[in-house]
Amino acid sequence: GEDVEQSLFLSVREGDSSVINCTYTDSSSTYLYWYKQEPGAGLQLLTYIFSNMDMKQDQRLTVLLNKKDKHLSLRIADTQTGDSAIYFCADPNTGGFKTIFGAGTRLFVKA
């Protein structure tokens, strides 16, 4: 079946760039999403990329999509302590009714 995989932990120093990687087995979805979950809270949509794009930039966030390798990444420039959270990549399979989430990458930012 379809699957989305991500590494579970990433630790960076404040001011460095963070790169969170995700691989998926197959996607016919129009979008691929990144959600952010802050401690004690639900998930919020952070950013997304159209499946016909290679890259999307949104302030400190850069999303890269390599459809050939089925690889999605999220880069956070100048990482701050407030970026400490769990980041989920998600494939909104079948219009979001059966969204496939990765296990989530917990980002630790050291001051």
Partner 1 sequence: DVKVTQSSRYLVKRTGEKVFLECVQDMDHENMFWYRQDPGLGLRLIYFSYDVKMKEKGDIPEGYSVSREKKERFSLILESASTNQTSMYLCASSKGSGNTGELFFGEGSRLTVL
- The correct pick among 28, 68, 97, 111 for binding partner 1 (CB under 8 A) is 97
* CA–CA separation, 94 and 111 (whole Å): 41
Q: Which stretch in 16-24, 35-43, 51-59, 67-75 sits in contact with partner 1 by CB under 8 A?
A: 35-43
Instruction: Determine how many CB atoms are found less than 10 A away from the CB of residue 103.
Output: 14
Size of interface with partner 1, in residues (CB under 8 A) = 25
Residues 60-89 that bind partner 1 (CB under 8 A): 88
Q: Residue numbers of the site for partner 1 (CB under 8 A)?
A: 4, 8, 29-31, 33, 35, 40-45, 48, 88, 92, 95-99, 101-104
